């Protein structure tokens, strides 16, 4: 537990109880630490009653403001809070109902401390399989809903007209197929960015190249990508439309692999070193749903195989989708919202307002 928690805890509890006596606590708040949190939470929020957005910093406040959403800074003393990270300690009163959900699809890395999950009344994961794994670890708060972040892939949010405008905006060459490169944080020891980043200019001669990286990726890699010509380095929070326009994904152990798998399109993964958070079952899963490579010649060959036979490994991808998501129906956010509303009877349920509907 973060040391400042113990300094903060008791004054926080005192203020919370004083406000509660006079019924001055906000009924329901969303804790949004960064813009990515917004993309994960928006498909849930649109089904919730009126609420307040609580942000971590000015960057996130400005991001929400650009979408017409007013927000407040911490501290906040609500009766219930929803978040997409392990930050229950920021609301150190047991009477606050806490709802958490995954930042990435499925458990591509080991679960963190059991307490990080059990501090929540409900922690929403992406499948019943994940619930079963969590229970074996002693996590009692896990509930399966799916992955709200990817609801827009399946609820009709992206028309062909919208996708064509995106293709034009990023200058995709219609005569070339499109390859999306992705990586997890290089500091995790499970990233392959060092293995492929220098291949991009050569591959760009044959393919459209898109790249997305983990927000914590080292500056040296981000700077290098920013300087590469004719390569589209995605720096937007929302990567979903780029998953749709890509023909093949090249990744490592990033959970974006699960999001691309949900679209049932071919995947290539670089082999990486095993670390403390490495999971053998995820390694086995990647072997089934992707072609694994380790250098430029095998990568080139794998891309050609994927483009020529995109149906290869389809049965394994579909089986993996059932394992990771249960359902891909565009309604995970609605299921999450129903769980929250059932547990907060003090909240008069109203039709969601316009602010809550903003999710683009």
Q: Is 211 helix (H, G, I), strand (E, B) or coil?
A: strand
Angstrom distance (rounded) from CA 155 to CA 166: 18
What is the token pair recorded at 327?
A: 């359902």
Helices vs. strands in the chain: H and E counts, helices first: 16, 13
**Domain match, 243 and 138 both:** no
- Give the pairing of strands 178-183 and 248-251: parallel
Residue 356 pLDDT > 50, yes or no?
A: no
Give pLDDT, residue 319.
96
Among 133, 121, 26, 130, smallest CA distance to 83 is for 121
Q: Express each pLDDT in 264-289 by its tens digit.
A: 999 999 988 776 566 778 888 999 99
**Domain match, 172 and 279 both:** yes
Type and span of the H or E element at 233: strand 232-233
Q: How many domains does the chain have?
A: 2
Q: Which residue has the tokens 């403390």?
A: 276
**Domain match, 160 and 147 both:** no
**Domain match, 113 and 261 both:** no
Give pLDDT, residue 2.
59
To the nearest whole number, what is the mean pLDDT of the chain? 90
Q: Express each pLDDT in 186-238 by its tens digit.
A: 887 778 899 999 999 999 999 999 999 988 899 999 999 999 999 999 999 89
**Domain match, 19 and 111 both:** yes
**Domain match, 145 and 170 both:** no
**Domain match, 319 and 338 both:** no
- Give the pairing of strands 267-270 and 208-213: unpaired
* Percent of the chain surpassing pLDDT 70: 93
Q: Express each pLDDT in 159-180 by its tens digit.
A: 999 999 999 999 999 999 999 9
Angstrom distance (rounded) from CA 274 to CA 288: 18
Q: How confident is the model at residue 97 (pLDDT cuts 50, 70, 90)?
A: very high
Which CA distances in Å does 242 have to 35, 181, 318?
Answer: 18, 11, 21
Angstrom distance (rounded) from CA 120 to CA 99: 6
**Domain match, 25 and 143 both:** yes
Angstrom distance (rounded) from CA 208 to CA 298: 19
Arithmetic mean of pLDDT, 108-120: 88
Give pLDDT, residue 354.
44
**Domain match, 140 and 269 both:** no
Q: Are 166 and 154 in contact, with CB atoms under 8 Å apart?
A: no
Render 256-301 in DSSP notation, one character per residue.
HHHHHHHTT--EEEE-----TT--HHHHHHHHHHEEEE-SHHHHHH
CATH number, domain containing residue 173? 3.40.50.12580
What is the token pair recorded at 107?
A: 């458990």
CATH number, domain containing residue 128? 3.40.50.2000
What is the token pair recorded at 95?
A: 């009477």
| Stated length of the chain | 360
Q: Are 253 and 276 in contact, with CB atoms under 8 Å apart?
A: no
Give pLDDT, residue 275.
63
Q: Express each pLDDT in 293-308 by its tens digit.
A: 999 999 999 999 999 9
**Domain match, 188 and 307 both:** yes
Burial category of 342 from C-beta neighbours within 10 Å (exposed 0-12, middle 13-18, buried 19 and up):
exposed
Q: Is 68 helix (H, G, I), strand (E, B) or coil?
A: coil
Render 121-173 in DSSP notation, one character per residue.
SEEEES-HHHHHHHHHHT---EEE---GGGGGGTTT-S-HHHHHHHHHHTT--
What is the token pair recorded at 108?
A: 């591509």
**Domain match, 186 and 279 both:** yes
Range of the domain at 42: 4-151+330-357
Residue 355 pLDDT > 60, yes or no?
A: no
**Domain match, 251 and 314 both:** yes
């Amino acid at each position: 537990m973060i040391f400042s928690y113990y300094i903060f805890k008791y004054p926080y509890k005192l203020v919370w109880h004083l406000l509660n006596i006079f019924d001055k606590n906000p009924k329901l708040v969303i804790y949004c630490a960064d813009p990515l949190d917004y993309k994960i939470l928006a498909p849930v929020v649109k089904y919730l009653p009126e609420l307040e957005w609580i942000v971590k910093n000015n960057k996130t406040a400005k991001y929400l403001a650009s979408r017409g959403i007013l927000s407040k800074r911490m501290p906040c003393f609500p009766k219930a809070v929803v978040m997409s990270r392990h930050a229950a300690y920021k609301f150190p009163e047991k009477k606050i109902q806490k709802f958490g959900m995954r930042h990435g699809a499925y458990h591509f890395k080991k679960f963190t401390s059991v307490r990080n999950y059990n501090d929540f009344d409900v922690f929403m994961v992406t499948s019943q399989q994940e619930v079963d794994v969590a229970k074996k670890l002693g996590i009692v708060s896990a509930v399966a809903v799916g992955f709200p972040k990817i609801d827009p892939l399946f609820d009709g949010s992206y028309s062909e007209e919208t996708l064509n405008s995106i293709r034009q905006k990023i200058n995709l060459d219609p005569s070339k197929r499109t390859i999306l490169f992705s990586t997890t944080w290089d500091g995790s020891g499970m990233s392959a960015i060092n293995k492929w980043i220098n291949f991009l200019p050569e591959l760009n001669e044959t393919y459209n190249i898109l790249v997305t990286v983990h927000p914590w990726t080292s500056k040296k890699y981000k700077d290098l990508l920013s300087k590469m010509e004719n390569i589209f380095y995605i720096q937007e929070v929302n990567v979903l439309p780029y998953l749709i326009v890509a023909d093949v994904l090249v990744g490592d152990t990033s959970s974006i692999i699960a999001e691309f798998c949900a679209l049932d399109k071919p995947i290539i993964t670089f082999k990486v070193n095993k670390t403390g958070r490495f999971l053998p079952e995820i390694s086995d899963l990647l072997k089934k749903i992707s072609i694994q490579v380790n250098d430029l010649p095998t990568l080139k060959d794998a891309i050609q195989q994927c483009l020529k036979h995109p149906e290869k490994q389809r049965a394994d991808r579909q089986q993996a989708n059932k394992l990771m998501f249960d359902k891909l129906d565009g309604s995970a956010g609605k299921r999450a919202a129903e769980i929250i509303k059932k547990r907060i009877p003090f909240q008069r349920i109203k039709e969601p307002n316009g602010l809550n509907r903003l999710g683009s």
